Every structure is written in C-alpha cells, then in structure tokens.
A and B are shown apart, each in its own frame.
Chain A
Amino acid sequence: MMLSKRLQPMIFQARRAYVELMFQVMGRALQAISEVDDITRNETRTLPVGFLFEMQVMPNGPKLIVEHTGDGCLYFHGDSAPRPVDLSIQFKHIAHAFLVLSFQEKTSVAFANDRMLVDGDVSLAVRMTRVLNRLETFILPKLVAQRAVKEYPADLHLPNKLMNAARIYLKVATNLVETARA
C-alpha cells in the first residue's frame, strides 16, 4: 500500500512523458504521411490553407499542433501555435489521452465515451480522425493497429504498409534529429 503510494507520482510522471512523446511522434508522423501517402493528401487537401489543428490534454497538458500549408501537406509546429487554432480535439484528462495513445481505447470509442471534446468544425474533426486512423494503420503493427482503429483496411497489404511505414519513420527520425540539433 505504502509502496504503491510512493510509486504513484512516478507513474503519473511516466504517463505524462509517454503522452508527450507520442504527441511528438504523431505530429512528425502526420507531417510525414502527408508527404508520402496520396490517400491522406486527398483528405487533407480540402482543408483551408493555413488551417491549424491541435490535439491537447485539458487543461494545459501536452499538445500537438499541425498546419495545412497547402496541397494537402501538413507541417508540425510542436506544441505552440503561431495563432489561434481552427480545430482542437481535447482530451478531458491525461488518463484518457494515455488510454488512446497506448491503444487501450480506439479513437472512435474515446469519442463515443466522451473522453474528448471537439472545439471547431465537427466535419473537419471527422476528416482529421480519418487521417489519424490512416496514420495508425501504417505505423503500427497490424495487431496493435486493430486495437486503435474501428476497422483495419482490408486493402492495405503488407508490402505497401511496410514501404510507407519505413518512409514515415525515416522522415520522423530525420525530423527528430534535426530538431535535437537545432
């Protein structure tokens, strides 16, 4: 009992660090997938140019911000927006963000369970959720991805998945190194 009480702050800290790390990876991966995947670009192309999308943990927790810079390309801004965001998906608590980002709860289930709020145009939130789902099916092993998305696409075959996943991870890694150097 005493031990678990002492461990609790460390668990909370680890959970927060995990969510922060996942947002960093997801933000860069969103930028990368918009550069390598046509289907994703078809989704993002219809977003207004300069559109700022945010995922955040309430009230002032970790966040990721991406911008549509035109022609479907997304740019990862880290955790600070250059101006007020257009669409924000907000987790009500870090515990809920952890459930989703550790693939214990699908994004769609998290919406259904009222774990998240949408502030902005709901139709654009639906579109961004499809982009996030597409990203997860590429970068996660099929068994994990099946836990993250409502339905794993039947037409996504291994060679295509591996090729795109490799390109996304390479871009994420390069971006991380560049950020670290800067």
Chain B
Amino acid sequence: MTHKYYEFFCPVKVIAGKAALEHIPFELTGLAAKRPMIITDKGVRAAGLLDPVIAACEESGLEIVSIYDDVPPDSSTTVVRDIAKVYRKEKCDSIIAVGGGSAIDTGKAVNILVSEGGDDIAKYSGAGILKHPLKPFFVVPTTAGTGSEVTSIAVITDEKKGVKLPFSSSFLLPNAAIIDPRMTLTLPPHITAATGMDALTHATEAFTCMAKNPLSDAYATAAVKKISQSLLKVLDNPKDEDGRLELAQASTMAGIAFSNSMVGLVHSLGHATGAICHLPHGLCMSLYLPYVLEFNLEDIRGPLGELLLYLEGPEVYSATPASRRAEASISAIRKLRDALYKRCQLPRTLKETGKVLESQLESIAEMALDDGSIMFNPKEVSLEDAMAVLRRAWA
C-alpha cells in the first residue's frame, strides 16, 4: 500500500501575455463587479504602471472608482483599516491589487475586512478562520518573484503589538492573476535579478522539500527552465518583452508550486535575515540557495540531479554522469549568481551585502530554527547546522 499522499489546489484564473490587462473589464463584469478599487504603492504609480490598467478599464467603460496608492513596503493593520474605510465610503465592489508582495498582501487583507465586516483585521488572523468567499479580487503583479498572486497567505504588521499577523485561507486567493509583460518591463536590473532568484528558490525548494508532489513538480521544473533561459537574457536586454513574460510566468508557476509543496531552510534563514538585517527577501534567497542545497545534498540528490536538465539543458544533462548531476545543479546556480553579480552586483555572500554583521549570525540561526518552513526541510536542522550554513554564506 502506498504511503504517499498530497494535496494540490490552485483555483486562480491566470490571464497571461500580450494585452492581458485589457481582459480585466470583461473578467470583472463576469463576476458582476462594476466599481473596482485599485490598491498599489507610490513607486508603481510613479513608474506609470497604473496608466495601462486604468486605460484598459476606461476604454471598456469601466470606471476605477478609487485608487489607494500609499501602501508601505511593510503593510500594517492601520493601512488595511484605512483602505477598507475608503472602499466602503466609495461603495466599491471589487479590488485590483497592482504591485509587489506588499500591495498584494494588503489587497488580500482589505478584502477580508470589506467582505467580512468590522475594522479589526487582527481577529481574522490565523489559519482557516474565513468560511465564505470574499469580494472579487484581481492581482496584477509588477515584479516577477513573490508568486503572491497565487498564494493563499498574507502577512500584515500589527504596529501596536509589534508583531506580524499571518492570514491563511484559500479564500484569500484572487479570482484572477493578470500577467502582462508591460508591468515588469521597467523593473531595474538588481530587482529583476533578486526577484528572479526568489522565483528560482521557490521552484527549487518546492522540488526538493518534503511536501513535493507530482503536480507541484511539474510547475517547479517548468519555472526553473524559464528562469534559467530568460533571466540573463532579460538583464542583457531589459526591453525584451518575451523574456519579461517568461520570467513573470515562471514566478507565477513557482508560486503555484511552492504554495502546494511548501519551502525549506533557504526560506527559514531568509525570513530571519530579512527580519534582523532588513535585506530584501529575493536577495536573501539568492544568498542562501547554494549553501542550503549543499547542506541538504544527501537527502535531495535525486530531485536536485533532475533539476540539472532544466537549469542547464539536455546537452549538459546527458553529458553529466547521474552521480554528479546534483553537484552540477548547485554549480549551475552558483554560475548564475556569478553572472548576476557581474551584471548588477547582486551580492553572493552575506559579507558582500555590507548590511550583515558577523555577530548577527547566531541571532539569525536561532530565529530560523523557529520558522515554520524549517518543518518542511528534508533534513533536520540543529542550531549548529544553521550556523554552519551561515558561516559558509558569510564570505
């Protein structure tokens, strides 16, 4: 009798490619929504990324009733409450989040308040609290990395208590994710690199951690292939629309993969480093990925070796003996990091970031041990193990 078991769930309609934004009015109308509110941040607005979204809606006679463009990088309960107030005052009936992880998480949290009622988002924190579908919710990602458009979680900071509130429910998933290459075309090189490595880490951990399953594997491998083939090309030619679309799709696919198979030690260390040293999440992923793979090597030799096909292509894969493929996959990731460093100085070690002190490593290790994702790392991690990985990532 088999002992294998898995669950896989992704009800998000993915609308991707050329003129994808122009599908928003039709899709909203299909959900009987007529008064959408846009939630975004100042950076997105300043970059002119809202213009094509607004134009696409107005051209179809759909008025954007309200735009909130002041979402901070770390969204808070106060911001969520304020946006919900505007939503109610303007009698909106749907939400379009345009931006990166913070704008999307804020959109998810606002959707809870405006659908369930009340002003206190904290009371909906936790897993499985929501029991009903929420208002129509669309996401337009402007980075290609977080995968938040297909995840059922959101994190909002409670400023008064100084804690991060997690929200987890399948009802947080948007009705549609709109992946349009225009939205990532102007992303600066270092953000393109860091978010690309974020997506690569999502896919790699999804494919090598404990909750991997056949469906998440399919998304993970496809994402790794797209990132390997397109990341450097896009950095060399930032206006490459096809390449940008490939990266944006890879990010969504990696998001689907990891939200159904979870992640491991790279994320545990990355979350802790982000909290203690305030480094961007994608950069943290890039810093730790090869060292964690080396640490996990003997437990993930099989799947990691398979990834070589998607990282380096069939010629390299077939020319590499099966027993060396896992190591070759790690080398391919190191090579990619070197290339990113050469192109946009994306740091490869903690020391190169200039923002981490060696004396902080122990606090990072201790915090990482209590991170939820460590549960799904294929190998047990002790404090000494975490410190050893951090020392290797140091310089």
Contacts and interface: CB of A to CB of B under 8 A. Distances in A.
B336 interface: no
A150 B375 CA distance: 10
B370 A151 contact: no
Interface in B103-158: 126-128
Contacts of A114: 5-7, 211
Contacts of A115: 5
B371 interface: yes
A117 B126 CA distance: 11
B6 A117 contact: no
Interface in B350-377: 369-372, 374-376
A86 to B, nearest CB: 12
Given A104-B3, A108-B210, A150 B379 contact: yes
A111 to B, nearest CB: 5
A112 B127 contact: no
A112 B374 contact: no
Q: How large is the interface on B (under 10, 10 to 19, 20 to 34, 35 or more residues)?
A: 20 to 34
B214 interface: no
A126 B127 CA distance: 15
B166 to A, nearest CB: 7
Task: State the majority secondary structure of interface residues on B.
Answer: loop
Interface in A17-37: none
Given A108-B375, A126-B372, A151-B380, A113 B211 contact: yes
B379 A111 contact: no
A122 interface: yes
A118 interface: yes
B7 A122 contact: no
B370 A127 contact: yes
Contact of A123 (B3, B5, B372, B380): B372
B304 interface: no
B248 interface: no
B379 A123 contact: no
A79 interface: no
A119 interface: yes
A163 B34 CA distance: 70
Contacts of A104: 3
